[in-house]
């Protein structure tokens, strides 16, 4: 059921890059201008050297030309340093924006997407891919920009020095162009495959670490080892592919880079004998072509990094795709939740099959059934975390899984046993539900769930939170307080108080009962006292809704619910004795 996140195509990546540049036009312009000036200054010395050669041949003086050449070299050094500094500052700002956008996109992912994406894929995109793009922006992008400008200026300069020799030198560079074209046509898919293999390996390692005890208890070590070997082999194959591409590119480039100066010297010697070119022009062209080799080599050195970074950027930009899809979702018209002909399967067999259900606004509905009946899955469908394979689940006539996280939180909130405490203060964790809430409202929400322990902390709401220090019961209380702050019209509780001790659980349930008055409450009930207090009870068995009615009516009917009630009530009575 796990799904891979999408990857942006080339056009989307180009648009994203242009968007980042437009957000810092002054920085980009300053970087471009300084690099142009540095590249122009680098052209002066070779040209002057050619003039010096011709001047010496004619018996002239060269003191002024030599002084200008030294001044041009110093100017190039200063301009290059400032250009590098400006470029790094620009790239760091861009990298900061990429990280911020990535976080915003992850938080904006639809709940249905988050539930089933591969954790390793998301982790790799948020760590390795961001790091690759960041290093490229910091190092590769300025280097490539500088080298590209230098190469362009040198090509123009060599033609101005002598068109015939310039054409000869550039024709000799055709080998580099051919090798680069061959490489670029194959590099993107190869690096995307390498990134996917890296994500799969991260996912596999995370799953093995999380389930280590289960693997050991069930004797699955050999099976998981074989699976790991397959994942590692995929990664090795992907890396060998990119290595092969580089091993073809570099020898071709190195050989091709030696040809232009050699051919210009050979042709220049012939033309010099015929009086068609001066010695100074030959020297200038050779120096320019030798100088041209340096920026070309720099570009090609970073070409591999650029391809890897482009693949990483495509994976980062791909996170925007799910968020774009849901922008068009209409606003719900009303609070009624409807499920019609709902089927859902994690693998092949349906775990929810043909469910029809209408939840009235303000109703308290309990969903009960034996273990594995599909109760929690139905709760996720009603909360928009899962999307039906067939049928529809709507709130206010709008598919609930199509709502953005912000809009969904205004309508439906699911609270389960498993809650996360985010890095930060207690206040930070509560403000996630409503950033505009003041401390008075935060205190009231905490009081509603019985979290009076916050007042005993050193800095109360400003205290740093830690799940290990607080314990699961207190983490759950903070999660329940977030529900109150989110203020949805429908709350789905899937054993939300199961991690609390009985006394605290009873207090939280009483407080929630008062706070949730007038709201729609759907309780996935494993403890049937919840069902007894509900307006209606939905009984599930083998993925289907088999009974619907009040507690008293279902007990009197003598069906599945009556059996469940007698079994639960009997075990409770026996425990009391």
Q: In what order do the strands lie in the sheet with 337-345?
A: 350-359, 337-345, 390-395, 398-399
Confidence of residue 575 (pLDDT cuts 50, 70, 90): very low
CA distances from 548 to 451, 527, 558 (A): 35, 17, 13
State pLDDT tens for residues 407-427: 887 888 888 777 777 777 888
The pLDDT of residue 525 is above 70: yes
Residue 488's Cβ-count burial label (10 Å; 0-12, 13-18, 19+) is buried
Among the listed residues 145, 146, 156, the one whose alpha carbon sits nearest the alpha carbon of residue 39: 146
Q: How confident is the model at residue 505 (pLDDT cuts 50, 70, 90)?
A: low
pLDDT of residue 175: 74
Q: From CA 74, how far away is CA 150, in angstroms rounded?
A: 17
Residue range(s) occupied by CATH 3.40.50.300 in the chain: 337-576
Determine the pLDDT at residue 356: 92
pLDDT number for residue 386: 84
Instruction: Give CA angle at 173 (168, 179), nearest 5°.
Output: 155
The pLDDT of 502-508, averaged and rounded, is 64
Distance CA 360, CA 339 (A): 12
Per-residue model confidence (pLDDT) at position 514: 59
Query: 337-576 is classed in which CATH architecture?
Result: 3-Layer(aba) Sandwich (3.40)
CA atoms within 13 A on the CB side of 428: 11
Alpha-carbon distance 212 to 228, whole Å? 14
Calculate the alpha carbon distances from 261 to 162, 171, 173, 249, 542 in Å: 14, 11, 10, 21, 79
pTM exceeding the 0.85 threshold for the entire prediction: no
| CATH placement of domain 14-187+246-324 | 1.20.1560.10
Cα angle, residue 176 at apex, residues 173 and 177 outer, rounded to 5°: 90
Q: What is the pLDDT of residue 192?
A: 80
Is the CB of residue 187 less than 8 Å from the CB of residue 179?
no
The pLDDT score that the predictor gives to residue 573 is 44
Listed in order, the ranges of the chain carrying CATH 1.20.1560.10 are 14-187+246-324
> 414 and 351 in contact (C-beta within 8 Å)?
no
Q: Are 345 and 159 in contact (CB under 8 A)?
A: no
Contact criterion met (CB below 8 Å) for 412 and 138: no
Q: How far apart are CA 345 and CA 564, in angstroms?
A: 25
Element (H, E) at 548: strand 544-549
The pLDDT value given to residue 325 = 47
Whether the CB-CB separation of 3 and 118 falls below 8 Å is answered with yes
Picking from 145, 175, 142, 170, the residue whose alpha carbon sits closest to that of residue 288 is: 170
CA 46 – CA 64 distance, rounded (Å): 15
CA distance 30 to 90: 9
Higher-pLDDT residue of 243, 252 = 243
Mean pLDDT of the chain: 78
Confidence band for 340, pLDDT divided at 50, 70 and 90: very high
pLDDT score recorded for residue 576: 44
In sequence order, the 6+-apart residues with CB closer than 8 A to the CB of 377 are 344, 351, 352, 386
Contact between 229 and 200 (Cβ < 8 Å): no
Query: Among 275-289, 342-356, 504-518, 521-535, which is the least confidently predicted range?
Result: 504-518
**Residues 485, 564: Cα–Cα separation, whole Å:** 35
Contact 365, 551 (CB under 8 A): no
Cα distance between residue 46 and residue 61, in whole Å: 17
The number of helices, as runs of H, and strands, as runs of E, in the chain is 23, 12
Q: Give the pLDDT score at 119.
A: 66
Cβ(323)–Cβ(108) under 8 Å? yes
Residue 324 binned pLDDT confidence (cut-offs 50, 70, 90): very low
Region 50-66 average pLDDT: 70
Report d(CA 377, CA 416) in Å as an integer.
12
Residues 435-471: pLDDT tens digits? 888 888 888 888 877 777 788 776 677 666 554 467 7
Three-class DSSP labels, 247-286: HHHHHHHHHHHHHHHHHHHHHHHHHHHCCCCCHHHHHHHH
Contacts of residue 191, Cβ cutoff 8 Å, sequence gap at least 6: 242, 307, 308, 310, 311
CA angle 135, 140, 143 (to 5 degrees): 140
Q: Please, are residues 406 and 398 in contact by the beta-carbon 8 Å criterion?
A: no
- On the CB side of 454, CA atoms within 13 Å amount to 29
Quick one: pLDDT at residue 50? 67
Q: Residues 345-392: pLDDT tens digits?
A: 876 678 888 899 999 888 889 998 888 888 888 988 898 888 888 999
Structural contact between residues 416 and 491, judged by C-beta atoms closer than 8 angstroms: no
Confidence of residue 62 (pLDDT cuts 50, 70, 90): low
């Amino acid at each position: 059921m796990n799904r891979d996140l999408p990857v942006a195509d080339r056009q989307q990546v180009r648009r994203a890059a242009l968007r980042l540049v437009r957000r810092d036009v002054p920085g980009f312009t300053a970087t471009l201008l300084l690099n142009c000036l540095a590249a122009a200054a680098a052209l002066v010395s070779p040209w002057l050297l050619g003039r010096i050669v011709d001047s010496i041949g004619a018996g002239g003086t060269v003191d002024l030309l030599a002084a200008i050449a030294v001044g041009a070299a110093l100017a190039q050094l200063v301009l290059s340093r400032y250009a590098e500094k400006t470029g790094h500052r620009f790239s760091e700002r861009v990298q900061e924006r990429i990280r911020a956008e990535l976080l915003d996109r992850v938080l904006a992912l639809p709940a249905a997407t988050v539930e089933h994406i591969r954790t390793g894929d998301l982790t790799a995109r948020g760590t390795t891919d961001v790091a690759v793009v960041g290093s490229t922006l910091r190092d590769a992008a300025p280097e490539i920009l500088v080298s590209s400008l230098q190469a362009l200026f040198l090509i123009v300069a060599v033609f101005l020095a002598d068109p015939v020799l310039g054409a000869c030198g550039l024709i000799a560079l055709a080998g580099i162009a051919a090798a680069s074209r061959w490489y670029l046509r194959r590099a993107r898919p190869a690096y995307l495959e390498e990134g996917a293999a890296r994500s799969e390996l991260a996912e596999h390692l995370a799953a093995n670490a999380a389930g280590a005890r289960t693997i050991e208890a069930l004797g699955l070590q050999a099976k998981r080892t074989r699976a790991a070997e397959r994942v590692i082999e995929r990664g090795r194959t992907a890396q060998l592919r990119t290595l092969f591409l580089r091993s073809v590119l570099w020898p071709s480039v190195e050989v091709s880079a030696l040809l232009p100066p050699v051919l210009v010297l050979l042709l220049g010697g012939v033309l010099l004998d015929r009086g068609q070119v001066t010695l100074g022009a030959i020297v200038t062209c050779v120096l320019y072509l030798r100088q041209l080799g340096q920026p070309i080599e720099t570009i090609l050195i970073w070409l591999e990094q650029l391809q890897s970074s482009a693949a990483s950027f495509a994976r980062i930009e791909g996170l925007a795709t799910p968020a774009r899809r849901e922008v068009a979702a209409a606003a719900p018209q009303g609070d009624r939740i409807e499920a019609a002909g709902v089927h859902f399967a994690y693998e092949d067999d349906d775990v929810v099959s043909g469910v029809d259900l209408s939840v009235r606004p303000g109703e308290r509905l309990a969903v009960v059934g034996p273990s594995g009946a599909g109760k929690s899955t139905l709760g996720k469908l009603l909360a928009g975390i899962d999307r039906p394979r067939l049928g529809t689940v709507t709130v206010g006539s709008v598919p609930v899984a199509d709502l953005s996280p912000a809009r969904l939180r205004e309508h439906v909130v699911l609270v389960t046993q498993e809650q996360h405490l985010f890095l930060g203060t207690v206040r930070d964790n509560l403000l996630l539900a409503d950033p505009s809430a003041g401390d008075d409202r935060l205190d009231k929400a905490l009081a509603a769930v019985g979290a009076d322990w916050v007042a005993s902390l050193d800095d109360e709401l400003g205290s740093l939170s830690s799940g290990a220090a607080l314990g699961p019961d207190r983490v759950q209380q903070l999660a329940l307080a977030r529900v109150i702050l989110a203020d949805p019209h429908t709350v789905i509780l899937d054993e939300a108080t199961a991690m609390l001790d009985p006394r605290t659980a009873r207090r939280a349930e009483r407080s929630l009962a008062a706070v949730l008055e007038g709201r729609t409450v759907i309780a996935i009930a494993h403890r049937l006292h919840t069902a007894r207090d509900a307006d209606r009870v939905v009984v599930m068995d083998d993925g289907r809704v088999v009974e619907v009615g009040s507690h008293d009516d279902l007990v009197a009917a003598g069906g599945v619910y009556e059996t469940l009630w007698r079994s639960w009530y009997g075990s409770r009575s026996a425990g009391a004795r």
